Amino acid sequence: MLKLTYAFLTITALLILRLEAQVAPPPPSGDSKNGKNVKLPPCKSCRVFVDSFQAGVRKTERNKHDGGDAAWEEERLGSYKTSELRLVEIQESLCGDVTRGATQCHGLAEENEQIIEDWWFKHQNEEPDLFKFLCIDKMSVCCPDLHFGANCDPCDDCHGNGQCKGNGTRKGNGKCLCDTGYAGEGCTECAQQFYEAFRDEEKLLCTPCHAACANGTGCRGPGPRSCNSCAKGWASASGGAGSGCMDVNECLEMRNACQQDQFCVNKEGSFVCLQCDRSCSGCSGDGPDLCTECADGYELRDGLCTDTTGEKREQYVTMTRYLTYLGLCVATCVIFQSSTWIASLVGLAVALYISVSEYWLAGASSKDMSPTIPDHLLNELRGK
């Protein structure tokens, strides 16, 4: 009695799922911005649909019938692996994982529902490749790899150096679209500005010519010495035409190649102008020792442009201080004419101010001139 109950419940569940599957699932919400409504080429859209179906197959490969007696259900209802229940579960999530062309994927699922069922129940064992069964044989929107066109004709042999135009689709002309550096009908030659670095019966390797070689003239091998003609910034070597190229030092050959506050640095085929040190108004290289003229606020001392703004500032401060002292003394003399007692107090205060100021400035200057050595360095020097 219990087994009959399980069978009744299982059959009821199958009927419910079957009815739900008949209603095409609504296309997922979204717009063309997120790729849901993007229309893909026929072969590409079919491949996306098959990939989503295979993802559902992998997702359900460990499932089983819902009843409690699995062995009895497998015997009475057939293997879950090829069951209608599993197909319905796959169809429920079909195209849910698609990010580009999801709407198109749902349309394919609805249009080809009968073909999918036919493959699932009748042809799955002898034709396990759903892509070939659906996209190539039934829908005729794709071709096998290395085939193209309406009749899936063989592509030209590109010898591993290019791609067949229309490969795997019902479009294209089957000709080779050569990779960068390769040319010829079968991509068996090196393109312009490339040279043959390696070749045997199966493999061809083309390598770019050196930057010294002029565009459109090519080269005979690696390096600037193999150039047939020289690019801008390069000159023919001493051997004359065909002897290769050598770099032109624009910094030596060009007058005033850079601005006054810049210096020239040569590089292969060109040059760059770099800013002089801030102490220089003109220079021949980087650093204050390569100045040809010092900038404002700097003076040439021992071959270096030295900052003098600090010294001049200190001179101004010292002069201002002494003028302040002089003014205080003059004020004391003026007061002395009116009141000797008050002038004495003011004079004493002025003298104290001047003494303390000079003492403090002398101490600060001495401290700056004699920096303190850290204790750990002293201990190391003493051998502790």
Domain of 61 in residue numbering reads as 13-142
Query: Is residue 158, in this structure, part of any structural domain at all?
Result: no
Looking at the fold, whether 287 and 362 belong to one and the same domain comes out as: no
pTM value? 0.60
Query: Is residue 98, in this structure, part of any structural domain at all?
Result: yes
Query: Is residue 3, in this structure, part of any structural domain at all?
Result: no
Binned average pLDDT, 10 residues per bin, the chain of 384 residues: 45 49 45 74 96 93 56 54 88 93 95 95 93 96 96 95 96 96 95 95 94 93 93 83 85 89 92 94 90 90 83 67 72 72 73 74 56 52 48
Final residue of a domain: which of 307, 324, 347?
Answer: 307
Looking at the fold, whether 254 and 290 belong to one and the same domain comes out as: yes
Exposed e or buried b per residue across 257-274, where buried means at least 16 C-beta atoms within 10 angstroms of its C-beta: bbeebbbbebeebebeee
Looking at the fold, whether 345 and 255 belong to one and the same domain comes out as: no
pLDDT at 94: 94
Number of folded domains that form the chain: 3
Query: Is residue 106, in this structure, part of any structural domain at all?
Result: yes
CA distance 313 to 265: 37
| Three-state DSSP string of 253-291 | HCCCCCCCCEEEEEECCEEEEEECCCCEEEECCCCHHHE
Looking at the fold, whether 35 and 135 belong to one and the same domain comes out as: yes
pLDDT at 237: 82
Final residue of a domain: which of 142, 175, 206?
Answer: 142
